[in-house]
């Protein structure tokens, strides 16, 4: 990061917020996805509908939630319902436009791992596991992924597919009958998107001051670059102010 006025978290959050479509119904995980979704809601996208797996539909939190079941998510929500209904009636039924996921590992075909590093039976690192992610990844119209770039995180093949992206690529996802799939992987260095045919993630944007080589060095496979690669617009003063206000609320 060459610009000292924003952090890598800031730009990831702001780029993710920009990726939300107007009025999209968004299934939000806690942490950076939640910050990004709420940033969009209080700035450019007041009509986006935030859904949290704890059962909150249309959450309008007055401060950032510190957990998926934070009371502020329920307080001003349009509806609060039981967890089985959130997954069956809302997510599985295909009512969600955008799913917003993080991951510990992602691979070349956008499969996500939040379960285990190393063998499942004798793990090197035991991670939290699936939570809502597998069905968010399967049932939303599109999925946005945010995670920090590193060769350990961006790997040729994930150790465990917690959430299916494109499998081994090509039409594998379609053949399984899954909706959507990851469309944007937003990192601290840039943005990766799947090739329309092979579904291999390619670099489509670099953040200001980041070189393609830096991103390639932080990626555990031979990362290809889109012919139409762009530089991310730097966070504006307005975006930064809104983000700061949100964090301090």
Partner 1 sequence: MADLVGLAEAIAAHVHDGDTVALEGFTHLIPFAAGNEIIRQGRRDLTLVRMTPDIVYDRLIGAGCARKLVFSWGGNPGVGSLHRMRDAVQNQWPAPLEIEEHSHAGMAVRWQAGASGLPFGILRGYVGTSLPFHTDTIANVTCPFTGEDLMAVPALNPDVGIIHAQQADRAGNVMMWGITGVQKECVLASTRAIVTVEEVVDAFEPHVNGVVLPSWVIDSVCVVPGGAHPSYAAGYSERDNPYYESWDPISRERESFEQWLAEEVMA
Which residues are designated catalytic? Answer: 53
Beta strand 56-57 with 79-80 is antiparallel
Q: Does 88 bind partner 1 (CB under 8 A)?
A: yes
Q: How far apart are CA 173 and CA 194, in angstroms?
A: 12
Binding to partner 1 in span 25-54, by CB under 8 A: 25, 30-31, 49, 53-54
CB closer to partner 1 out of 113 and 204: 113
Nearest-angstrom CA–CA distance, 36 and 64: 10
Q: Does 200 bind partner 1 (CB under 8 A)?
A: no
Q: Minimum distance between the CB of residue 242 and partner 1, rounded to whole angstroms?
A: 22
**Which two tokens mark 97?**
């436009």
Q: Which residues contact 72 (CB under 8 A, 6 or more apart)?
A: 59, 61, 62, 63, 65
- Is residue 249 part of the contact set for partner 1 (CB under 8 A)? no
Q: How many Å apart are CA 58 and CA 81, to the nearest integer?
A: 11
Q: Which of 13, 38, 139, 146 binds partner 1 (CB under 8 A)?
A: 139
Residue 152 Cβ, how far from partner 1 at the closest point, in Å?
Answer: 16
Should residue 56 be labelled a site residue for partner 1 when binding is judged by CB under 8 A?
yes
Regarding 171 and contact with partner 1 (CB under 8 A), the answer is no
State the Cα–Cα distance between residues 118 and 121, nearest whole angstrom.
9
Among 93, 129, 135, residue whose Cα is nearest residue 113: 129
Choice between 121 and 213, CB closer to partner 1: 121
> Applying CB under 8 A, which part among 10-18, 146-154, 167-175, 224-232 lies near partner 1?
167-175
Alpha helices in the chain (DSSP H): 8-19, 32-42, 71-75, 83-85, 133-139, 172-175, 212-217, 237-248
| Element housing 107 (H / E) | strand 105-107
157 lies in the site for partner 1, by CB under 8 A? no
**Residue span binding partner 1 (CB under 8 A) among the ranges 14-22, 119-127, 216-224, 237-245:** 119-127
Of these, 37, 101, 160, 180, which contacts partner 1 (CB under 8 A)?
160
Interface with partner 1 (CB under 8 A), residue from 1, 42, 80, 234: 80
Query: How many residues touch partner 1 (CB under 8 A)?
Result: 62
Q: Backbone dihedral region of 181: left (phi > 0), alpha (psi from -120 to 50 degrees) or beta?
A: left
* DSSP codes, 220-238: SS--EEEEEEEEPPPPPHH
From 9-17, 93-101, 216-224, 229-237, give the range in contact with partner 1 by CB under 8 A: 93-101
Q: Does 170 bind partner 1 (CB under 8 A)?
A: no
Could you list the residues that contact partner 1 (CB under 8 A)?
A: 23, 25, 30-31, 49, 53-58, 66-71, 73-74, 78-84, 86-89, 91-95, 115, 120, 123, 125-135, 138-139, 160-164, 167, 172-173, 176-178
């Amino acid at each position: 990061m060459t610009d000292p006025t924003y952090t890598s978290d800031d730009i990831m959050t702001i780029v993710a917020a920009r990726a939300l479509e107007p009025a999209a119904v968004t299934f939000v995980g806690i942490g950076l996805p939640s910050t990004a979704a709420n940033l969009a809601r209080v700035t450019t996208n007041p009509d986006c509908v935030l859904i949290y797996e704890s059962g909150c539909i249309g959450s309008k939190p007055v401060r950032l939630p510190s957990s998926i079941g934070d009371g502020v998510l329920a307080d001003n929500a349009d509806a609060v319902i039981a967890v089985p209904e959130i997954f069956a009636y809302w997510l599985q039924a295909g009512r969600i436009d955008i799913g917003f996921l993080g991951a510990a590992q992602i691979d070349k075909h956008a499969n996500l791992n939040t379960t285990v590093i190393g063998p499942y039976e004798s793990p090197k690192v035991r991670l939290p596991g699936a939570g809502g992610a597998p069905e968010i990844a399967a049932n939303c119209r599109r999925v946005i992924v945010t995670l920090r770039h590193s060769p350990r995180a961006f790997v040729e093949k994930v150790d465990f597919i917690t959430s299916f992206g494109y499998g081994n690529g090509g039409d594998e996802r379609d053949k399984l009958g899954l909706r959507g799939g990851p469309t944007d992987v937003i990192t601290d260095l840039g943005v990766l998107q799947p090739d329309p045919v092979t579904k291999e993630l390619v670099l489509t944007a670099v953040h200001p001051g980041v070189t393609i080589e830096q991103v390639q060095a932080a990626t555990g496979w031979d990362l290809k670059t889109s012919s139409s690669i762009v530089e991310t617009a730097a966070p504006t003063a307005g975006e930064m102010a809104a983000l700061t206000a949100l964090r301090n609320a």
